[in-house]
Amino acid sequence: MGSIKQLAPGVVANPEVGFGRPCIEGTGIATEVVADRFKAGESVWQLMRDYDVTPSAIQDAIRYETNSIPKQGEDSQFYCQNVACYARRQRQRLRPQNDSH
């Protein structure tokens, strides 16, 4: 039997629920799914209604997934390298292309 880890306010990981993925506390609702739906344009109100949880539970899930700190179990150096790599790729993608090759 695994132990439940409190990852952030309102967010837990339980190896017996959702394969240990971060979930809204007291539910099996994956924080990643909530945040992805929010990023896709759904409102906190819609998510709250769909999952039958409080607005603060939805906000905690979104906050956890969009926070720029390493999540539980992630190596902070690896995380920072990935963030730097992502930022570098974004800058390259946004840089004007030179058509005179």
- 85 domain-assigned: yes
- 78 domain-assigned: yes
- 99 domain-assigned: no
pLDDT category, 80, cuts 50, 70, 90?
very low
Read off φ and ψ for residue 20, nearest 5 degrees. 85, 5
Residue 39's CATH number: 1.10.10
Structurally, the chain folds into a number of domains equal to 1
Each residue's pLDDT tens digit, 19-38 = 889 999 999 999 999 999 99
pLDDT(99) > 90: no
- 68 domain-assigned: yes
Instruction: Report pLDDT for 48.
Output: 94
Alpha carbon dihedral 81, 84, 88, 89, in 10-degree steps, equals 60
Count CA atoms closer than 13 A to 80's CA, side-chain side: 3
Residue 61 contacts residue 10 (beta carbons within 8 Å): yes
pLDDT(93) > 50: yes
pTM: 0.64
Instruction: Report pLDDT for 67.
Output: 76
pLDDT(41) > 50: yes
Domain limits at 45? Answer: 5-94
